[in-house]
Chains A and B, each alone.
Chain A
Amino acid sequence: MTHKYLSHQGLAALVAELLSAGTRVIAPVRAKDDAGQIDYQLIASYEEAALGVRLPRRSLKEFFLPPTEVLLSYKQTKAGVEITDVPTVAPPQVILGAIPCDVAGLAVVDKVMNWDYRDELWFGRRDATTIVNLLCNIMDATCFCTAVGLGPESFTGSDVMLAPVEGGYLAYLITERGEALLKGHGEEAAADAIAHAEAARKEVRGKVEPNLAAVPAEFSTWLASNFDNPLWKTIALRCHGCGACAAVCPTCHCFDIVDEHISADEGVRRRNWDSCQTSLFTLHASGHNPRGSQSERFRQRIQHKFAIYPSRFGDLLCTGCGRCSRACPGGMDLPTIVSELVALSEAKPEVSGQ
């Protein structure tokens, strides 16, 4: 991997050049409704970006899978039904200063989006996007990325990683796309800048690792064979089933598809975020609900993230960002729950008899 040194002014010049070329730039900014909070937003100038300040409230998901989007529009005419698909080619965009777990989340979801069909809208946006993440040093006690195979220094899914060094950043050029983005920008990196950044990459891991031990590979198998364990009956007592966890999750990707009329003979087909934590998600037309209580719905959340998805795609469907815990009004805390379940899975079976 090659490196470049990018001064603060150099980064500002890069952003200015992108914006003047009409490229959309998305970066963490101070939230409009609460200056103490950070949201990813489109920026109009480099000065708006608030890099490395605090974990953004929401992940990058909405820029690739919006909470609602039109898939097609339809119109009834005398000749039949006219259907117009939406364009699947997205305008070029650059994501600047995202936290590594959010970027990794996109790479995890790519797998299901290219599974039984290729999601053209998702990949249209993915293909149009270059991602520059920032070495994370804004973790808190709820972060557990290192436990799910990632880390605050993770390159997964990113084209360029920036690591703060004196006067600016050391840029790791991870992909060809990343190299192209920085073409004509930055300077040759000094050996001590590289050494400094490498030391920082090791150091940040140590800030997350104590929060939760690495989830063992055997955990997925244990979960799959403990679907009927009585523990599920009581694990989600405090869960309201509100689904706020799924809304803020960088990897929850389920959606619902609905047709909505605009007039008597025109309408649109939309897809909207959905969540397995609500009872409507699995309600059959007959009135039967195979996941009739929150115990079953929460079991589904854990099973999908830590057993079903990895069995199909290899990756856990969790980036350890901790947003579900921060968003939960009922005090459900995923790292605690995972740690308790892992302990249970590792417990030696009780010796029966004498």
Chain B
Amino acid sequence: MNELREVARKLLAEGTVQVVIGYEEGPRGVRPAFITSAEQADKLVFDTRCVQNLAAYLNPRRKQVAQLGKAAVVVKGCDARSVAGMIREKQIERENIVLLAMRCGGVLQNPEKDTELTEETVSVRCAGCTAREPKLFDHLLGELPPAPPVNKSRMEQIAALEKMSMAERRSYWNEQLSRCIRCHACREACPMCFCVKCTAEKTQPQWIDPSSTLQANRAWQTMRVLHQAGRCVDCMECERACPEHLPLGLLARYVADAVERRFEYTASDDPSVAAPIGVYKSDDDEEFIR
């Protein structure tokens, strides 16, 4: 943590960046911090409560952050994949950001509780993590902590869903998605949702009705998650933002697994590696078209 503060202080003092986006103690656990002077660098913290994917603040839609100037951002390995995604998709330029990448030993499910990482408290997304040592960075910081315990609850949920018949699966998702209120908080909190005009807001034609009927909810969440296929880094900010507590992380993981099986691709932290959604391969099976 001292190393992080040291680097942040230097970057701000030298004027390399105008803001360091990191984590600080807040009234309800750890919260995003926007450090704009070297004197404030000591506010920065990094521990297992640092759940938030701060890459979201590099999203060009966050105009209030962009006005602060060039940013350095504290990322975990998983968050660095979001940054890579935004570079790959031409939303930000690599040279315009400084990445303070933290070696990571897993995070909790929410930033409020300061407890030990256990099979129950660790985030489900840390299971099988291959990015604990970030590969995309300007400064690689901290010692590599031991691998976290594995929270199997989501894997078990996915296994249970796969065993279900199509009708049972449909009824499960219908029950979940009927609770969606179409507030689109999932989209707004997502680092990878940056369309200037979302399809959900297009009215000529109206692709998706804006009212929270089951049919429209299904159309909305299906479109959102398919648009995220191979782009989503499983940060689960959508699920944390959802005021109706929909299992959006489960939905996202389900699609990510399908992309992995079919295209042998997981969201890469190398911006030069193209994602399946943006690639044409002449030797692709295309068996689903037949």
What separation, in Å, do the CA atoms of A162 and B26 have in the docked complex? 36
Q: Is B270 an interface residue (CB 8 A)?
A: no
Determine if A278 and B188 form an interchain contact, defined as CB atoms under 8 angstroms apart. Answer: yes
Among the listed B32, B61, B62, B245, which residue makes an inter-chain contact with A331, where contact means beta carbons less than 8 Å apart? Answer: B32
Q: Is A248 an interface residue (CB 8 A)?
A: yes
Determine if B34 and A238 form an interchain contact, defined as CB atoms under 8 angstroms apart. Answer: yes
**Chain B residues with CB under 8 A of A346:** none
The contact string, 1 if C-beta is below 8 Å from chain A, for chain B 97-116, is 00000000000000100000
What separation, in Å, do the CA atoms of A241 and B31 have in the docked complex? 16
The contact string, 1 if C-beta is below 8 Å from chain A, for chain B 230-243, is 00000001001111
Least Cβ–Cβ distance between A2 and chain B, in angstroms: 39
Determine if A333 and B26 form an interchain contact, defined as CB atoms under 8 angstroms apart. Answer: yes
Given known contacts A247-B183, A247-B243, A242 and B64 CB-to-CB distance under 8 angstroms: no
B24-59 contacts to A (CB < 8 Å): 26-34, 52, 56-57
Determine if B67 and A248 form an interchain contact, defined as CB atoms under 8 angstroms apart. Answer: no
Least Cβ–Cβ distance between B191 and chain A, in angstroms: 10
Tally of B interface residues using CB under 8 Å: 44
A270-289 contacts to B (CB < 8 Å): 270, 272-273, 275, 278-280
Least Cβ–Cβ distance between A39 and chain B, in angstroms: 9
Q: Is A336 an interface residue (CB 8 A)?
A: yes
Give the segment of B6-14, B87-95, B160-168, B204-212 that binds chain A.
B204-212
What separation, in Å, do the CA atoms of A273 and B243 have in the docked complex? 13
A233-263 contacts to B (CB < 8 Å): 233-234, 236-244, 246-248, 256, 258, 260
Determine if A248 and B211 form an interchain contact, defined as CB atoms under 8 angstroms apart. Answer: no
* Residue among A237, A273, A293 facing the most chain B CB atoms (10 A cut-off): A237
What separation, in Å, do the CA atoms of A237 and B54 have in the docked complex? 12
**Chain A residues with CB under 8 A of B183:** 242-244, 246-247, 273, 275
Compute the total of residue contacts between A and B using a CB distance below 8 Å.
121
Determine if A331 and B212 form an interchain contact, defined as CB atoms under 8 angstroms apart. Answer: no
Determine if A327 and B243 form an interchain contact, defined as CB atoms under 8 angstroms apart. Answer: yes
**Chain A residues with CB under 8 A of B31:** 238, 330-331, 333
Determine if B32 and A330 form an interchain contact, defined as CB atoms under 8 angstroms apart. Answer: yes
What separation, in Å, do the CA atoms of A321 and B189 have in the docked complex? 23
Determine if A233 and B243 form an interchain contact, defined as CB atoms under 8 angstroms apart. Answer: no
**Chain B residues with CB under 8 A of A233:** 64, 67
Given known contacts A233-B67, A240-B188, A329-B237, A247 and B181 CB-to-CB distance under 8 angstroms: yes
Q: Is A295 an interface residue (CB 8 A)?
A: yes
Determine if A294 and B63 form an interchain contact, defined as CB atoms under 8 angstroms apart. Answer: yes
Which residue of chain A has its CB nearest to the CB of B245?
A33
Among the listed A239, A272, A292, which residue makes an inter-chain contact with B182, where contact means beta carbons less than 8 Å apart? Answer: A272
What separation, in Å, do the CA atoms of A237 and B29 have in the docked complex? 17
Q: Is B129 an interface residue (CB 8 A)?
A: no
Least Cβ–Cβ distance between A141 and chain B, in angstroms: 8
Determine if A142 and B185 form an interchain contact, defined as CB atoms under 8 angstroms apart. Answer: no
Least Cβ–Cβ distance between A284 and chain B, in angstroms: 14
Least Cβ–Cβ distance between B219 and chain A, in angstroms: 12
What separation, in Å, do the CA atoms of A37 and B212 have in the docked complex? 23
Determine if B185 and A292 form an interchain contact, defined as CB atoms under 8 angstroms apart. Answer: no
**Chain A residues with CB under 8 A of B135:** none
What separation, in Å, do the CA atoms of A238 and B184 have in the docked complex? 18
What separation, in Å, do the CA atoms of A234 and B18 have in the docked complex? 14
Determine if A278 and B32 form an interchain contact, defined as CB atoms under 8 angstroms apart. Answer: no
Determine if A67 and B34 form an interchain contact, defined as CB atoms under 8 angstroms apart. Answer: no
**Chain B residues with CB under 8 A of A67:** 181-182, 212
Among the listed B33, B211, B241, which residue makes an inter-chain contact with A258, where contact means beta carbons less than 8 Å apart? Answer: B211
Q: Is B213 an interface residue (CB 8 A)?
A: yes
What separation, in Å, do the CA atoms of A246 and B184 have in the docked complex? 12
**Chain A residues with CB under 8 A of B68:** 237
Q: Is B65 an interface residue (CB 8 A)?
A: yes
**Chain B residues with CB under 8 A of A137:** none
What separation, in Å, do the CA atoms of A243 and B184 have in the docked complex? 8
What separation, in Å, do the CA atoms of A31 and B246 have in the docked complex? 13
Least Cβ–Cβ distance between B73 and chain A, in angstroms: 13
**Chain B residues with CB under 8 A of A237:** 32, 34, 57, 64-65, 68
What separation, in Å, do the CA atoms of A68 and B215 have in the docked complex? 13
**Chain B residues with CB under 8 A of A335:** 27
Q: Is B201 an interface residue (CB 8 A)?
A: yes
* Residue among B57, B183, B187, B189 facing the most chain A CB atoms (10 A cut-off): B183
Which residue of chain B has its CB nearest to the CB of A275?
B183
**Chain B residues with CB under 8 A of A246:** 183
Least Cβ–Cβ distance between A10 and chain B, in angstroms: 35
**Chain A residues with CB under 8 A of B242:** 244
Least Cβ–Cβ distance between A331 and chain B, in angstroms: 3
Determine if B241 and A240 form an interchain contact, defined as CB atoms under 8 angstroms apart. Answer: yes
**Seed contacts A258-B209, A275-B183; 7 additional CB < 8 Å A-B pairs:** A237-B68, A241-B61, A244-B185, A244-B241, A260-B206, A278-B184, A333-B28
A-B contact pairs, 7 of them (CB 8 A): A68-B181, A238-B32, A241-B61, A247-B183, A292-B63, A325-B28, A331-B29
State the 8 A-B residue pairs at the shortest beta-carbon distance, nearest first.
A331-B31, A242-B185, A242-B188, A247-B243, A67-B181, A293-B63, A329-B241, A238-B32
